[in-house]
Each structure stands twice: as C-alpha cells, then as structure tokens.
Amino acid sequence: MKLASLIEEFHLKKAAAAIAVLLVVAAYLIRSGAPGSPTVVAVEVTPILTSLPTGGIQDFTAVGRYSDGSTTPITVTWSATGGSISPSGHYQAGPTAGRYRVIAVQQRGSLTDTSAVTVTGNGFSHERESFPDSTQGVATGGGDTDQVPPPQVVAVELTPAGVALAVGTTQQFSFIGSMSDNTTTAILADWTTSDSYGTIDAAGLYTAGGTAGTFRVIAMHQGGSLADTSAVTVTDDGAAGTGDVVHVSGVSAVEDKWLLQDSNIGGACPSDVVGRFSGPDTSLAETDPDCNIELAVFAAGSAPVLDLAPGWIAGGQDIQEQLPVRWTVPIHVVVEYAESGFDPSAEAKEASRLFEINRMGIEIVIDGPISTIDPSTALGAAILGGCDAFQKDGNSNDNPYMVAGHLNVFYVREDQWSQDWTFRKFYGYDCVDEGLPEVIFIRQGHLLETLAHEIGHALSLQHAGAGFAPFFLQFGWPESNLMRTSIWDPSETSNPIVSSFTTGQVYRANFHDESWLNSGGIRSEAKKTCQSVSATDMPAASVSWPCPLLQLDWP
Amino acid sequence: MMPHPLTRRRGVLVVVLLGWVAGAACQREPVDRAVLNAWLTCVECTDGELDSVQALARRAPATVDTLQKDLLQGPSPFQRDQLTVQMQTSYQRLATYNANDPTSDSLGFSQAEFVARYLGNVVMIYQGRAAYGLGAIGGIRARQALDSALQFSPDSFPPNVWAQIHFARDSLIGP
C-alpha cells in the first residue's frame, strides 16, 4: 500500500492540527511551569567554606535546590570579594589575606548564596560584599530635596560565617544589614537550614541535630531578597550520636553495670524507645518523641552501677543503690502434641541466652511440669482456637491450663492449629493485643528463635520497623533484630538467622508499663515507672527505682 | 474525504497489537524475590506480607511459577547449607551457655538432632507458606499448581506441608 493512501486514511490533516494544538499547550506549560512542578527555592554554592593562599584558585559551583528537595545545576552570576571570579565560578584570591565571600545570584531570579573564603597570608583584612537589595533598591530622591530618604539595606552579613558544633548543641546567629548610610544594624531574617536533623528558630538560634555533617544556615532578609549563608559543621564524638553532649563509654564488656547508650540506631530514631531525655528535664521520659536521648541499659548481671564516661556530670539524684536486675521470667509450657524429640527447654534456653547476650537482664526458665491439652475436650478445643478463648472467660487465670505469674506458652500441633484463614499465617503469636501478653501460641514447625520473638512481644516490643527486610535499614534497625517479622532471611548469606535486640528495646522491655515484666508483677520490687522522683522520695533503702535522673552537661 | 473501508479493521488491528505489546511488557515484570522471601519466612505475617505477594502476582504472573517451585523444592541447597552451618553454630552457643549454667541439666539432644529438627522446621515453613500463598493468589494457574503438588504421594512432603497444601487447595473455589 502506498504511503500517500495511508496518510489519507489516517486523516493527516486533522492529526497535524491536533498535534499543533498539543504543542502549543505543551509550550505554554513548559513556559509557565506545570501546576505542582517543583520550583527553585534556594541557591547553594559549593564549597561552602574554603581556605586559599594569596593568589590561590578555587572553582565554585552553584546548584538550585527545588521545592521537592532535588538539586540541579543552575545558572548564576558570580561576584566575589578579596579576589576575582570568572563567569564560570573560577575564583582567584587576591594578594591580601582576609576573610572574603563569593556570591552567586540566580539569573532571572533573586535567590543568592554566599561562600566564605579565607585567604591566608600576612595580615588580615575583612571586606564585606556590597550587594544591592533589588527589591528595596536605592532611594532616587523626589521633588523635595530636603527629605532624607530612609537608609536602605545594601548588604547583609550572617555571623558567624562558619561554625563547628557538636551534635545537639546550639549556636546563636546574627544577621546584620549594612545600610546605605554606611551604618550597620541588626535586621530581621527568615531562617532556614539544610540540616533536616537540626532546627533554627525565628530568632536565629540553631540547634544541631543528631547527625554529623556539613549543613547550611540561611538567613534571608525579610521583605528583601538579600541572603547570606553560614556553613555549620556538626560533629559527633562517635560515642553517642544523637542530640547529646554526653560522652558514653560504649558497650562495656564488664558485666554488672549499667551502660549509657544513645538511642539513635543507624541514624534513625526507633519508634518504640522510651526513656528519652531531650535535656536535663527527665520528666520528658517516655513521652518525648524526639531522638535526643540517652538510654540506660541493663547489663546481664545483677548489680547495676552507673558506668559514666569522663565528662558526664551525674545528677545528685542518680541511682544511689544497687538492685538485682536479673529477673527470672517463669514460663509455663503447655503442649498439645508430643512430637518425638521435642524439648521446649531448648527454646527457653535459647531465649534466655539471646536475652542475656543482648543485656536484657532477664532469664527465661521453665517453671513446673509441662502440661498437656486434650483437644477433644471443649476447653481444650476452645484454647486451641486462639486468644479469644482466653478472653471469653474474662480472666485468663481461671483457665486451668494457665499458671498465674507465668508466661504461658502453648505449643500446638499443625492439624490442631486454628483453621481460621488469618491464623493460618502465624507460626507464633502473643495475645498482647487481646490484653493477655502472658499467653503465647507457638505452632509446630516454628524456628528456634520464635519463643524469644514472642516473649519480646510480651515485653511490649513491637516489630522492628514495618514491612519486610529491605525497609529495616531504612528505619535504622539492624538486620539482625529479633523483632523483625522474619527471623530468617534467605537473602542474607552470612547470617541468615537473627539474634539481636537493640538497646532501646532492652530499655523498653524493662521500663515500659506495658511490658509484662511490669504489668505482670514479675518483679518483687515496685514497678519501674520511668518517672522523675526527687531525692527525698528515693531513700537509699527504697525498692522504688525510677529512671535514673541524669543531669546532662548541657551547655 | 470518506475513510477507506478498511480503516476500522486496521484500527482494530493496531489496538490489538498495542494491547499485545503492553501485555507482553507487563508479563515481563520480574518476580520480586524479596517480597516472596518476606512472606515465606515471617513469623506472624501481620505486616502485609501476603498482601504484597498477591499484589506481586497481579503484576508478575510468574509469581505463581516461583511459588510452585518453592513449594516443591523448598529452600535451595545453598540456603540449606547455610542454615545448617548457622544452626550448628547456634547449637554450640546454646550448649556453651547451658554448660555455664550450674543449675541447668544437659541439653538432652545432640547437634545432629538439633539441626535436623530446626532445619526441618525452616523447610516446613517455607514450603507451607508457598502453598498458602498459592491459595491466596487463587486463579486457574495457582489451582493447577496446588493440584499438581497433590499428585505427589503424601510422604513427599512433611505432614505439615501436606496439610497446608490441602488447606490452600480446599480454600479455592472450583474443581
């Protein structure tokens, strides 16, 4: 078939007209910006800080940061003090040592950014850029020659131009305007920072976040378009990592000690950590959603002693006594089947071992004889139906298969496992959602670590992160965490079975109200509440043991 | 100008061809092994692991084939070797821990018994979940996969897995 006839059949003229219309619309959208498309919100110059000898050379680059957080190279107009700079950002320091600036101004826009340049050499001089505020302009005068126009801001300077801070510390910034009458004055600024972990308030008080790195503090003249930038280098002492100035000794190999550790795990703030201290005020314990915290962690032994690193200022109300922390967690085992070779003590011992090596401070012990369930009885069948059977009688302790003060673990044979489609998914579960954390079901065919995982639920631990393995790192959870939904990872070649708890989980398991250690009355001492208690409320012989009251060496 | 009398037929042909190309493109979406692994190994599976498998099956029909293979073969020999080593290590750690506890009796089982038991359990979970996943996905191919597994003798699978296959197949509607 000839091409001409095909063209005719497809009505080329009509199609061409439609395409033309589309092109016009597309051109309009490109020109005007499609609704919702990201816009440039800041110009960022790299490097933020540089030090050069006199006559030294440095290439600067500028990118535009878009409203969606992305960056892309952007065309800017360069200017500089203390040297010369080419249109491509090639800066050469002049002959005079001092602190200077390289300024990038967005072309066809008003956004700017500044980089601080220190030129080393003999002597020191400081030059400030003179950079007219395009929105305010310079007064041009009027008909009344006696009227003195108000001074205009012709340049701005953010100080300090660069600063190094420890995580969690603060820095007050100043924003000074150079006026057209050659005076200087503090001017109002809109403050922003590129540090997504840190904050800066409306007065220019910057608080470093918990993550080390080099960030920017940006001050933009309110009502104008002049801006200046300061480089902030946030450092971490390596021992902690989040919002603290406390030097922590790290994981000690010494037993029988408390350890103070940071809750920040892999740069993320776990969702189920308690005992968060954002400052000296420990009343924020358990409620502070921030990650600026330290954790007191149980060791596996029995006599906790606060193990403070140099630099820690212990408050006068810190732990003043030693109490046993190795609580025996008794479990009562009920089996529905007697598979050859099955020995639940192996799993109890493994749970105990895992809790010990992770410094949970508890020991799992099978207490008393193992019970058996007859599924042919009404009660036996009901129990095998799952958590609901225990709820129906209103009191789990009335159930003859239950032993009060124990975690009751029901091992159930595959063919007796609930035929409910939902429950068929489980290989173990804890009835914590039904208000019965002391009831655990484990299905035939479970893994060795299943009991430890389910006891973790009874101790108020939730699944580590949400979803499956690839997301765990995203949330900062170690891949080896026992509270993962999958405790065996086929994609992990070196260590497919997981075996760890985080310190935050250890803390929560010990202190959280919903932990069965507390709600189940396992401790012989008073329940730990994690609430502040004054020194007079905690005499030396008291069995009441609140969270340690820590006086951080806050600046 | 009047359209050519064959225009409509050609238009239909173009649409069919485009549909075939699009369909072929969809079918080429690979099976995300991580999604399957999350389901095959979860303890409680309360974080949407099965939903993810069902969604994956809608995007990648080959999911059924992969699950069928998982059902029939279980973990790969390489994975079993890894698990064996891991479980041997676990046993030794457990034995050491137990030996250091003066109040504890001996473990009461050998390393070989320990490894056999828990490796068997891993395989059982893996294959059982594959069967369950096929039942949840449903459809002709999944049913055929389950029926195919049921053609084996019962002792070809651990009893638990055999029960899971039946459970999954019985939950599907249709012959």
Which tens digit of pLDDT belongs to each residue from B91-148? 999 999 888 877 777 888 899 999 998 899 899 999 999 999 999 999 999 999 999 9
Q: How far is A19 from chain B (nearest CA, A)?
A: 19
Q: Determine the longest span between alpha carbons in chain B, in angstroms.
A: 100
The parts of chain A modelled with pLDDT lower than 70 are: 1-36, 69, 121-148, 167-168, 196-197, 209-212, 236-327, 337-341, 359, 361, 389-398, 421, 464-479, 493-496, 502-508, 510-513, 523-555
Chain B residues with CB-CB distance to A425 below 8 A: 42, 44-46, 50, 132
**Tokens (6 digits) for A4:** 């001409």
Single out the residue of A430, A347, A334, A490 nearest to residue B125, CA to CA: A490
Which tens digit of pLDDT belongs to each residue from B71-102? 999 999 988 998 899 899 989 999 998 888 77
How far apart (Å, rounded) are the C-alpha atoms in residues A95 and A88? Answer: 21
* pLDDT score, position B44: 84
* pLDDT score, position A102: 85
pLDDT, mean of residues B2-26: 55
Give residue limits of the domains in chain B: 43-171
Asked if residue A179 lies in contact with residue A153, where contact means CB atoms within 8 angstroms, the answer is: yes
* pLDDT score, position A341: 62
Is ipTM beyond 0.85? no
A51: buried, middle or exposed (CB in 10 Å: 19+, 13-18, 0-12)? middle
Q: How many CA atoms lie within 13 A of A149 on its CB side?
A: 15
- Tell me the whole-structure pTM to 2 decimals: 0.54
Which of B1, B9, B12, B44 is most worth mutating to test chain A (most A CB atoms within 10 A of its CB)?
Answer: B44
Which tens digit of pLDDT belongs to each residue from A129-152? 333 333 332 223 333 344 567 788
* pLDDT score, position A393: 47
* More confident: B65 or A448: B65
* pLDDT score, position B77: 92
Asked if residue A299 lies in contact with residue A258, where contact means CB atoms within 8 angstroms, the answer is: yes
Pairwise CB contact (< 8 Å): A419 & B167? yes
Single out the residue of A406, A404, A412 nearest to residue A381, CA to CA: A412
Strand, helix or coil for residue A423: helix
* pLDDT score, position B67: 97
How far apart (Å, rounded) are the C-alpha atoms in residues A439 and A409? Answer: 6
Please report the residues numbered 34 through 73 in chain B whose beta carbons come closer than 8 angstroms to any beta carbon of chain A.
Answer: 34-35, 37-38, 40-50, 52
Integer Rg of chain B from CA: 24
Burial A351-379 (b: 16+ CB within 10 A, else e): bbbbbbebbbbbbbbbbeeebebebeeee
